Structure 1
Amino acid sequence: MTDSLNTEFEALLDYIRRSRGFDFTGYKRSSLTRRVNKRMQTVDIQGYGNYLDYLEVHPEEFNHLFNTLLINVTAFFRDRPAWEHLSNEIMPRILQTKDSEELVRIWTAGCASGEEAYTIAIMLAELLGVEQFRERVKIYATDMDEEALNQARQATYLASELHGLTAEQIEQFFEQNEERYTFRKDLRRAVIFGRHDLIQDPPISKIDLLVCRNTLMYFNAETQSRILARFHFALRDGGFIFLGKAEMLLTHSNLFTPVQLRYRIFTKVAKPNLRDRLLLMAQTNSEEEINSLSNHVRLREAAFESGPSARVVIDANGSLSLLNDRARSLFGLTVQDLGRPLQDLEISYRPVELRSCIERAYNERVTINLRDIEWQSPQGEITYFDIQVVPLFDLVSTILGVSINFIDVTRYKRLQEELEHSNQELEMAYEELQSTNEELETTNEELQSSNEELETTNEELQSTNEELETMNEELQSTNEELQTVNDELQRRSEELNRSNAFLEAILTSLKGGVIVVNRNLHVQIWNHKAEDMWGLRPEEAVEQNFLNLDIGLPVEQLRQPIRDCLSGPVDGVSEVVLSAINRRGRNIQCRITCTPLIGEQQQIQGVILLMEEC
C-alpha cells in the first residue's frame, strides 16, 4: 500500500514538472506530502491519482497548490541579532576589500515577497549613505513563486508587515499612502527581482554576499549539495553566505567555513577540489551527466589520495596546489593550507630546503633526487625519506609546477643497520614493525568507524532540526491565514451589528406596530409599538404562531388577508380595519396593512403587518 502511494505521489510530482516546469523532486518528501495533503483536504479529494486528474481538469488549481507548497514566511530584519552582526562585522569586511567606486553585488535567493531584499537595501543605505548606495549597490532577489515576486516588485506593505523596522527606518525609507507603505523608488531601482530555480537555473556570478535563509532546509541532502556547489561558484573569493538558523553546512567544509556559526554566516573556501569545480561547470540536473563527467576525476583523486608515499604538488606561482592523505598526516597540513605560498609552510625547509631544489628542477628540467633525508616527527620519531622533485610540463613543454614525493625509506634504513648485526635481529625488527603497522591500521579503522557513526548521527540531528523548522514555518503560515480569516469575521460581525442596530432604530421610530410573520405564520419581528398596543413582549411573541396569540385583536380575521399576500403578486397590498381592545382595555379601531415580505429572486418569504389606531 505504501509503495503504491509513493508511486502515485512521484507521478504527481512528475506531472507538475512536465506541465508547469516546477521541479519538486529534490524537496524533502515528508514536507511535500504534508503540504499536498493539506491542499487535497481543502478541495476534498482522496488519493494522489485523483488529485492529478483534478489538476488536469482544473488548471487554475496549480496556483493554489504552488501557494501551499512554496511557504513564503519572511519579515523585515527577521532574527534581528543576526542582521546586526551582519551589518556591524561582515559588511564592513566586504567594503574594506573594495575600491570606493567598485560595485557591491548581493544575491538573496528565495526572497519570497521581498522583505529580505529591502532589509539588505536598508542596511547598506545606512552603511554607505543614500548617494553611495544608488551608485554602488546591486541586489539580485530571486524566487520560484511568480505571485510572491509580483508582490515584491510592488514594494508596498501594510503597517503590520513593517513590525521589524524602527520608526526612523520607516520614516526614512518608506512613503505612506493611506494605510500602505511603499519603499522609496530611488532606492528600489537597485533591487532586481527575477524568477530563478535553484535546482535547474545557473547561478548569478561575482557575488559578495549571498543570503539564502531557511530555503535549503526544504531540500534533501543530495539537492542541498548541488545547490551549495552552485552557491560556491556564485561567490567571489572571500565572499560570504548568510543562512537560516536551521542550516549548518557541517558536512560541506570543503566549500564553506564558518565565520559566525551562531548566526549561520560562512565564507567561501578558496579552492574546492577538482570534482567540485567540474560539478559547478556542468550546471546540470542529470546525475548521469555529472557522473560521466567526473568519474575519471574521482578515480584520479582516489589514486592520488591513497598513494603510499607522501606527495605534494606546487604550482608555477609557488603555491601549494595538491597534497594527499599521507602528506597531511605526516606534515600536519590541512585542506585550508591549499593555495598558501610554499615559503609560508614548514615543509619548505623541513626535513630539507625545498625551494633551491625546485629552482634547480625548473632550470635543468630534470628530476632531482635526494637520498636518506632524516626527519623527526613532532612525536620525536626519526623517519628517513628519499625525496623526488619532479617538474611538471603541459603538452607544449610549459612548466606547470613540481610534484614532490616523499618516499619513506626508514624501514630499509633500519634493515640495513640491523643486517650489519645479524639476520636474526633483522627478522625480529621486521616482525615488530609489521605488528606496529597492523595495530595502527586497526586503530585507524576503529577511528574511521567512530567518525562515520558521529557524522551519521549529526546528519540525522540536522535533518530533524530542519524538519522542525519547516513545520514551524508551516504553522506560522497557517496562523497568518487564520488571523486573516479572523479579521474578516470580526469586520463582518461589526457590519452585522451596525445593520441590526439600524433596523432596530427604524422599527422603534415607526409610529405604528410592526409585526413580521414568515410563510408558516410564525412571528419573526414584534416591535415596541406592537408591545405597547397589545401588551405582549417580543420574547413572548417571536416564533409563536400569530393566529394563536391571545391579544385584544381578532387575529383570526387576518388569516385570509395574510394568505392573500403570501399567494398574491409581490406588489400586492391589502388593508383591513378591525375593532379591537388594546392592552389598557380601551376599545379601538385598528387599521392593519398587509404587505408581502420580498426576499431573494423576488420570492415572497412572509408578510409585514403595519397596525395603526384609527
Structure 2
Amino acid sequence: MNPFDPDFEALLVYVKESRGFDFTGYKRSSLMRRVNRRMSQIEAADYPEYLDFLQVHPDEFTTLFNTILINVTGFFRDSESWDFLRTEVLEPLVATKPADSPIRIWSAGCASGEEAYTLAMALAETLGIDAFRERVKIYATDVDEEQLAEARQATYGEREMQAVPAKLAAEYFEPAGNRFTFRKDLRRSIIFGRNDLVQDAPISRIDLLTCRNTLMYFNAETQAKILSRFHFALADGGVLFLGKAEMLLSHGNLFTPIDLKRRVFRRVPRVMPIAGAVFSEPLQTVDGAVVGLDELRNEAFAASPVAQLGLTSDGLVALTNRRLEKMFGVSSRDIGRPFRDLEVSYRPVELRRYIEQAQLERRTLRVTDVEYGRNGETTHLEVQVSPLTGNDGSLLGVNLIFHDVTAARRLQADLEHANQQLEAAYEELQSTNEELETTNEELQSTVEELETTNEELQSTNEELETMNEELQSTNDELQSINDQLRVSSAQLDEANSFLETVLTSLRAGVAVVTLDLRVRMWNQRAEDLWGLRSSEVVGQHFLNLDIGLPFEQLRPILRGALGDEGSSGEVTLDAINRRGRAVVVRVACAPLRGLDVTRGAGGAIIVMEADDA
C-alpha cells in the first residue's frame, strides 16, 4: 500500500473541496485501509473509479464518512483511568477553585455522548447535584452530525448501560420503556456542537479536556497542530485526558505527564523568550559593583551541565562551554569562526534553517528526535534554538542548547515494551517528527472567533434573564391567585359547616332536590325519620326512595315548587316511620332559588316533620 498514492491524494482533495471534510491530516495507512474497505463493498477497482462513483452518487459521502470516522465510545471506558481522574484531578480541581467560580470541561470527539455524560456523573458526585447545576459547563463536540444528534437525545439501551454502576444508573438515569434517559435537569449543563479539531477554533478557558483515542487517527503534523490548539484552550494548570493508544512523549514543551500509564497530562505554561542578553544586569553590593563579574559569567557558562553554543547575529561563534566541547569537539579555539564551517551546523541535524527561522520569527524553536552517534553509542538530543535580543529589540545573536534526552528515550522504550498490545501505534508515534507551528495570524483569528462566540453567549444569557424575570412575575401572580383561592375555599368550608350545623339542629327532616328530583342534601333528622343515611340517598331520585311517604299525595306540591312560578305548599300525610310505626307527617315544599329570582326555581326544599305523639 503506497502511502503517497497521487490518485488517493486526489480523492482526498475532492472530498475536502466538495464536502468540507479535510482528511489530509489523517495517517495514510489507516485512512487508506478504511477507504479500501468501502471500495470493496461497492466493487470499485481503484481510487479514480471510486472518485467517479462519488461524483455520480452524492449519498455515498455519508457512508464513506461513517466508515472513516469510527465512533467507538462507552460509559466509564477504562474504569481504572476514570477512578484516577476523579480522585487525582477532579477532587483537587474542585478543592482549589473558588466556590462560586465556573468549571469548564471539553469532551472533544464525543461521538454518541457516553463520555460527556460520564464526565457529568463524575463531577456531580464530586460537587453535589446543586453545585453541579450552578457551576459546570461541559462542551461536547464532534464532526459527525449523526452522532451528535444521537448524543443530544441522551437515551441509551441496556447494552450501553451495562458499564454504568447500578447506584449511578438509578440516580442519574430515568427509565423510558426498555431504554434509559439522562436526567433533564443535569442535561442542560451539557452543550453538544460540531467542531472540526483541524479547522475550527478551540473552546477557551477549559479546566479539563478529554480527547480519547482521537489523535491516533491523525498524522504527526496534524497532531502537533491539534495539540497546540488544546494547549491554547486549556487554562493555566488545565488537564488533558487522552486514550490508551495516545502519548505525548515528544510534546514536553506543551504538556507534562501527571500519570503516563493512564494518559493524564497537565498543561505547561507558555514561556516567552526574555529580551536582552544571556545574563542579567550585575548585582550591586553595599560597597558598589561586584568584582570579577565577567569572569564569573564566563565560568558559569563554561560549567553549565548542558552543551551550549552562542552565535553572533552574523553567524560567528561567540561562546562555547566544556560540555559542548566534550560532545561535539567545539571549543574556545573556534570562537570567531563562521558557524556554517563547523560540523555541528549540519550533523547530526541541519541547524542553519532553524537558526534563520528563530532570528526571523524572534521565538524559541525546538528540534526534537535528534540521534547522534559517537563512540559506538547513540545519544538522543533535543536542540533549543533561542534568539537573543537587546533592550532596544535589536538582534544580538542566537543561543543553541543541546539537551541529552537519552534517558527519556530509554524510558519511552520501556513503556512501549510494557504495552505490547499498542506496539503498532507506538512505532508510528516514534517514527514521527513533531513540530509546533503557531503563527500570530492564527492566534488573532482564534481570538476574534472566541470574542464573537462570547458576545453571542452574552446575548443569549441576557435573553434568558429577561425570560426568567417574566416567569417570576407570572409565578407571583399565580401565587396571589392561589392564596385567594385558599381563602375562598376556607370561607366555603366554614359556610358548609355552618349550614350543616343549622340543618342538623332542626327537629324536622330536610331534603333538597334538583329540578329532576335528584336528592342533593339529606339532614340528620331525615335519616332518623326514615332510616336512610345521607350517603345512600344523595344522587337518588326522591320519588324512588324506600321510605314510608305516600308520594302520590306529594306530587302536586312538588310540581308547584318546581314549576315556573315556584309556589310553596304544605300537606299533612299518614306515613310509616323507620320503626314501622304509623305517624302523621307534615310536609312543606318550597322552591329553591338562586340570587337571580327571575330565572325560576333551581330545585326544591322539602321539610318533613313527624308528630311523635
TM-score with structure 1 setting the length: 0.50
Letter in 1 for 2:225: R
How much does 1:7 deviate?
1.1
Does 1:84 find its partner at 2:7?
no
Task: Report what 2:197 is aligned to.
Answer: 198
Alignment of 1:69-468 (within 5 A): 69-272=68-271, 311-312=278-279, 356=284, 370-373=293-296, 446=373, 450-451=379-380, 465=422, 467-468=424-425
Segments of structure 2 that go 5 or more residues without pairing to the other structure are 305-317, 323-329, 335-341, 349-370, 382-404, 429-613
Summarize the alignment of residues 487-498 of structure 1 with structure 2, pairs less than 5 Å apart. Answer: none
In 2, Cα distance between equivalents of 1:155 and 1:469: 35
Q: 1:101 to 1:432 in 2, by over 3 A?
A: closer
Matches within 5 A, 1:541-552: none
> Matched residues in 2 for 1:19 and 1:432: separation?
58
SS in 1 for 2:58: coil
Distance 2:18 2:87 in 1: 46
Which has the greater radius of gyration? 2
Cα distance in 1 for residues equivalent to 2:113 and 2:237 = 26
Change (3 A) 1:446 1:156: same
RMSD: 4.4
The question of whether the paired residues in 2 share the 8 Å contact of 1:209 and 1:242 is answered with yes
Aligned partners of 2:61 and 2:76: how far apart in 1? 31
Q: Are the structure 2 counterparts of residues 32 and 380 from structure 1 closer, same or farther at C-alpha, using a change threshold of 3 Å? A: closer
Tell me the distance in 2 between the aligned counterparts of 1:27 and 1:313: 46
What is the rounded CA distance, in whole Å, between the counterparts of 1:26 and 1:246 in structure 2?
Answer: 18
Amino acid at match of 1:175: E
Q: 1:185 to 1:312 in 2, by over 3 A?
A: farther
Answer 1 or 2: which has greater helix percent: 1
Gaps of 5+ in 1: 275-299, 305-309, 315-353, 362-366, 382-405, 411-430, 472-614
Deviation at residue 371 of structure 1 after TM alignment: 4.2
Shift of residue 434, structure 1, vs aligned partner: 5.3
Report the Cα distance in structure 1 between the residues aligned to 2:212 and 2:231, rounded to whole angstroms. Answer: 16
Change (3 A) 1:434 1:180: same
Partner of 1:60: 59
1:47 is matched with 46
Q: Is the 8 A contact 2:303 2:321 kept in 1?
A: no
Distance 1:439 1:45 in 2: 53
- The CA distance in 2 between the partners of 1:374 and 1:26, in whole Å, is 47
Distance change in 2, residues 1:374/1:183 (3 Å): closer
Cα distance between partner residues in 2 of 1:28 and 1:432 = 44
CA shift at 1:96, angstroms? Answer: 2.5
Distance 1:238 1:224 in 2: 21
TM-score by structure 2 length?
A: 0.50
* Structure 1 segment 548-587 matched on structure 2, within 5 A: none
Q: How far 1:408 sits from its partner (Å)? A: 8.5
- Output one character per residue of 1:423-470: Cα deviation in whole Å (capped at 9) or x when no partner: xxxxxxxx99859xx999999964696215969996997999475599
Structure 1 residues 378 and 45: CA distance shift in structure 2, 3 A: closer
Cα deviation code 1:117-155 (max 9, x no counterpart)? 000000000001110000000000000111110000011
- Note closer, same or farther for the CA distance 1:131–1:379 as it changes in structure 2 (3 Å cut): same
Q: Note the C-alpha offset of 1:8.
A: 1.1
Going from structure 1 to structure 2, the CA distance change for 1:370 and 1:128 (only over 3 Å counts) comes to same
**Inter-partner Cα distance in structure 1 for 2:141 and 2:344:** 52
Change (3 A) 1:235 1:241: same
Deviation sequence 1:477-535 (CA, Å, 0-9, x none): xxxxxxxxxxxxxxxxxxxxxxxxxxxxxxxxxxxxxxxxxxxxxxxxxxxxxxxxxxx
The 5-angstrom pairing of residues 480-559 of structure 1 reads none
How far did residue 206 of structure 1 move? Answer: 0.3
Shift of 1:162: 1.2
For residues 313 and 376 of structure 1, the distance between their equivalents in structure 2, rounded to whole angstroms, comes to 15
One-letter code aligned to 2:84: H
User: How many Å separate the matches in 1 of 2:331 and 2:144?
Assistant: 67
Distance across 2 between alignment mates of 1:243 and 1:56: 37
SS of match in other structure, 1:451: strand
SS at 1:237's partner residue?
A: strand
**Secondary structure, counterpart of 1:149 in structure 2:** helix
| Counterpart for residue 597 of structure 1 | none
Report the number of matched residues: 348
Distance 2:257 2:73 in 1: 24
1-side partners of 2:158 and 2:121: how far apart? 17
Q: State how far apart, in whole Å, the 2-side matches of 1:145 and 1:224 are.
A: 19
Determine what percentage of the aligned residue pairs are the same residue: 50
Q: Is the 8 A contact 1:254 1:272 kept in 2?
A: no
CA-CA distance at 1:42 after TM superposition? 1.5
Residues 62-88 of structure 1, C-alpha deviations (whole Å, 9 max, x = no match): 111111100000000000000000001
Q: Is the contact made by 1:217 and 1:470 (CA closer than 8 Å) also made in structure 2?
A: no
User: Aligned-pair distance for 1:94?
Assistant: 1.5
Corresponding position of 1:32: 31
Aligned-partner residue type, residue 373 of structure 1: L
Contact 1:140–1:193 (CA under 8 A) maintained in structure 2: yes
Residue identity opposite 1:166 in structure 2: P
The DSSP-based 3-state class of the residue aligned with 1:75 is coil
Residues 246, 466 of structure 1: 8 Å contact kept: no
Given that residues 301 and 321 in structure 2 are in contact (C-alpha distance below 8 angstroms), is that contact kept between their aligned partners in structure 1? no
Q: C-alpha separation between the residues in 2 aligned to 1:102 and 1:120?
A: 18
